[in-house]
Amino acid sequence: MDWNNRNCDYAIMDTMKTVFGFQAFRPNQESIIKSIMSGQDVFAVMPTGGGKSLCYQLPAKMMEGTAVVISPLISLMKDQVDAALENGIRAAFMNSSMSADEISDVYRMLANNKIKLLYIAPERFAMPHFIERLKTIPISLFAIDEAHCISEWGHDFRPDYLSLSLIPKVFSDVPVAAFTATATHKVQEDIINKLGIRDPFIVRASFNRENLFYEVKPKSRVEAQILDFLGERQDEAGIIYRTTRDAVMETAAFLASRGIKALPYHAGLSSEERSRNQEAFNRDESQVIVATIAFGLGIDKSNVRFVVHADLPKNIEGYYQETGRAGRDSEPARCLLFFSRGDIPKIRYFIDQIVDENKRLIALEKLNQTVEYASHNVCRRKQLLAFFGEDYPGDNCGGCDICTGTVEQIDITIDAQIILSAISKTQQRFGIGHIIDIVTGADTKRVRELKHNEIKTYGAGKHKDKKHWRFLVNELLAQDMIRQEGDPYPVLKLTPKGSEVLYGIEGVKALKREERPAKKKQQGGSDAGRYDETLFGRLRSLRKKIAEEHRVPPYVIFSDKTLHEMCRYFPVTLPDMRMISGIGDAKLKRHGEEFIREIKEYLSDNPGKVVPGGRSADVMRPSAGRSKNKKKGETVEETYEFFKRGMSLADIAKLRNLAPTTISSHLERLICDGRDIDIDRLVDPTKRKEVEKVFLSLGQGALNPVIEHFNGAVSYEEARLVRAWLLRKTLM
C-alpha cells in the first residue's frame, strides 16, 4: 500500500485522534511514522516523554500483521500492554515471568492474527525456536526500545542486545525502528552499525525537556534536605536515587519514619519485593520510590513530578535518562541534584577497579563531565544540551536554578590567595578538609601535630564560616586553578592558573547566586498552566478508584496532563470531553461519562465558579438554563426548527428571548448529533478554515486560546460552533 498518498495521510491523522486522543503530532512523530509505514528503517533519538511509543504503536494499529517491540524492561511490559489495551489496541507480552501455558496462549493468539503489538525482552530473540515461530506469522515492524543498550560506548551496555543484529538479516522485508533517549553521535553510529539498520531515516530530536526544572544544591545533611524538599510536594509522586543499596534502605526507612510512603528498589532485593514495590509506586500507593542509580529502574509512570539525585551520578547520559523519568506527561516537574565533592572518591574507587585501561579512562572522563555540570555556575540546560551536541539558543532558559536565581559576579582574588597559600605552604600534600581547617584556624590535634598552626595562613579566614571556604575551593576546582590528585584520599595541587593568582599575576571572579524559589506548578506564570486543584483532587481519586477496579496503574486510565486539561476546561458533554488531549474513542466510551458526572457534581457544588468562555457554573446545574415548561431536548429542537427556516443565530436568540450563548450551545449540540446544519451560514467559510487550523495546531479543544489568537476577530459562539463542526468531521 502506498502510505504516502493523501488518503493515507488522512487515515494516519484519523487514527491518531480516534485511537490515541491527540489532535496534533509532536515534533518528528509524523515523519517517523510515515517512514516506518513506507517500509524504511528508522533510527530515532527522542527524549523521554517525547512520544516515541506513538511512533510504533500507531503504525502497528494500521499495518497488517504484528509489530514486535523489544524492550529490556520486563517489569514494565504489563503496564505497556495495559495502556495499549485501554486505547483499544490488541496487545500482549512474552517474558521469562510467564508459565509455559501462558506463553502457549500468546503463540496461539499470534497464529490467529489476534495481536497487533507483542512486547518481548531481547534475550528471547536469541532463542532460535522463537525466531522460527516469528517466521510463520506476518510481521508489520520491529521496534527496538532503549537501543543504546547495544553499544559499549553507551552508559547501559547489555550483551543480550547483540543478538538483535539478526533481525535485518532474517526479516529483510520488515522495517526496523530503533529508539533511544540518550545517544551521542558516536553512540548513534555504533548502534546503527551493530544493528545493521539499512539506510535508515535518522532523527535526532531536541534533547531539551522544557517542562523540567533543573537545580543543584550543596549536599550537607542530605536526608534532612530531602525531607524539606518533600514537605513542599505532598501527594506528588517522585523518585530518589542513591548510589548504594545501604543508602537506599536507610533513606527509605528514614522517610517512612517521618510519615512518607516510601519504598526501596535495588538489585539486592528479591525479584518479588522489587516487583511489589514498583507496582505500589505505579499504582500511587507509594508516593516515593528510592532506588540505586546503578540499577536500571525503567519507570514508565507518566505522572512522576520530581526526581532527586541524593548522590553524584556517574555520567551525564545516566543522569539525563534518570531525570527524564520525571514529567513524561509534559507537565512541569523538578530535577534536584545534591552535590558534594565527597562523592567523587567513592565513584573513583569503583572506576579504579575497571581492568581495561581504555574503559577506565572513558569512565573517568564521564565522571569529570558530571562534576563540571554540578559545579559550574552555567545554565544547567545549556550544559546538558551541549553534551549531546545541541546548542541552546537563548541566554536564559528560565527553567534552572542558575537562570532563575539572582546572579552577581564577585571578585574572590584575596580569599582565593588565602586558600592557594595554605595549599602551597603545606607542600600540596593535604585534602580539602585539612586546608579549610588551617584557613579557619581550627584547633585540631592534626593541625597542632603538623605545626600547621604556625604557618602564616593559619586563621587568615576565621572571619568567615567553613561553608564560604568550601564554596571557594569548589570554585577554584571548577575554574581549574587547583585539582585533586591521588586515591583514596585526594590532595589539593596548584595548577599553573592557580599559581598566577597566588602570586598576583591574575585575578579571579566567581558567580554568586541568590536562589529564588521556582514556581511549583508552572514556570513563567502563564495562565495556560493553571488548573482547578480541588477538582483535580476529586478526579484523581476517581481515576484511582477506576484503576483499582481495572487492576492497572492510574496513569494508564488518564495521564495527569489529561486530568489537568479537564480541570481547566470543565468538559460536561461527550463532545467536549473528546476534545481533551489523550482521550480517544475507546477511553471516551469506557470512562467519559464517569468523569463528566464528577465534573458536573463539582460545578453544582460550586455554583459561583466561572469556567472558560465566561460561563458561570450555574449553566451546568441540572435545574439551570431550562425553560420552565419545556424539557431541554424540546427547547433544542425548537432552535433547530427556526434554523431550518433560514433564521440566523442572532434572530433566533431575539425571537426566543434567549442569550446568543444559549442558542449557540443548542446549535453545537445539533452539529455533534449529526443534524443537517449548514456551518457556512453560521461562520464565514474562510474564517472557519483558519479557526480549524488553530484548533488542530493547539492539539486540544480549549476556546480561550483560540479566541485570544484572533484578538477578538472570532467570537466565543463562532469558536464553539467551529469546534463542534471539527469534532463531527473527526468522528464521521
DSSP 237-261: EEEEEESSHHHHHHHHHHHHHTT--
Query: Given the DSSP bridges, would you call strands 288-292 and 262-265 parallel, antiparallel or unpaired?
Result: parallel
Residue 626, pLDDT score: 36
Position 700 confidence tier, pLDDT thresholds 50, 70, 90: low
Q: Mean per-residue pLDDT for 669-690? A: 86
Name which of 270-274, 413-417, 592-596 the model is least confident about: 270-274
**What span, in angstroms and rounded, lies between the C-alpha atoms of 379 and 386?**
11
**What span, in angstroms and rounded, lies between the C-alpha atoms of 577 and 55?**
25
Residue 460, pLDDT score: 93
**47-63 residue pLDDT tens:** 777 788 899 999 999 99
Position 406 confidence tier, pLDDT thresholds 50, 70, 90: low
Reply yes or no on whether the pLDDT at 409 is more than 80.
Answer: no
- Give the 3-state secondary structure percentages of the chain, helix then strand then coil, rounded to 5: 50, 15, 35
Residue 404, pLDDT score: 85
**What span, in angstroms and rounded, lies between the C-alpha atoms of 249 and 234?**
21
**536-562 residue pLDDT tens:** 999 999 999 999 998 888 988 999 989
**135-184 residue pLDDT tens:** 999 999 999 988 888 876 655 677 778 888 888 999 999 999 999 877 77
Q: Per the structure block, which three cell numbers stand in for 552?
A: 492497572
Residue 697, pLDDT score: 75
Q: Mean per-residue pLDDT for 663-692? A: 86
**594-634 residue pLDDT tens:** 999 999 999 888 876 766 544 444 443 333 333 344 444 56
The answer, as to whether pTM is greater than 0.85, is: no
Q: Structural domains in the chain?
A: 6-204 (3.40.50.300), 212-405 (3.40.50.300), 428-513 (1.10.10.10), 531-624 (1.10.150.80), 629-732 (1.10.10.1390)
Q: 420, 481 in Cβ contact below 8 A? A: yes
Q: What is the mean pLDDT of the chain?
A: 84
Residue 64, pLDDT score: 92
Residue 301, pLDDT score: 82
Residue 526, pLDDT score: 36
Q: What is the dihedral of CA 709, 714, 715, 721, to 10 degrees?
A: -100
- DSSP for residue 12: H
What 3-state class would DSSP assign to 389? coil
Residue 513, pLDDT score: 60
**342-387 residue pLDDT tens:** 888 888 888 888 888 888 888 888 888 898 888 877 889 999 998 8
**Terminal alpha carbon distance of the chain:** 23
Residue 525, pLDDT score: 34
**What span, in angstroms and rounded, lies between the C-alpha atoms of 613 and 619?**
12
**What span, in angstroms and rounded, lies between the C-alpha atoms of 713 and 90?**
45
Q: Mean per-residue pLDDT for 706-722? A: 81
Q: 566, 611 in Cβ contact below 8 A? A: no
What 3-state class would DSSP assign to 667? helix
What 3-state class would DSSP assign to 410? strand
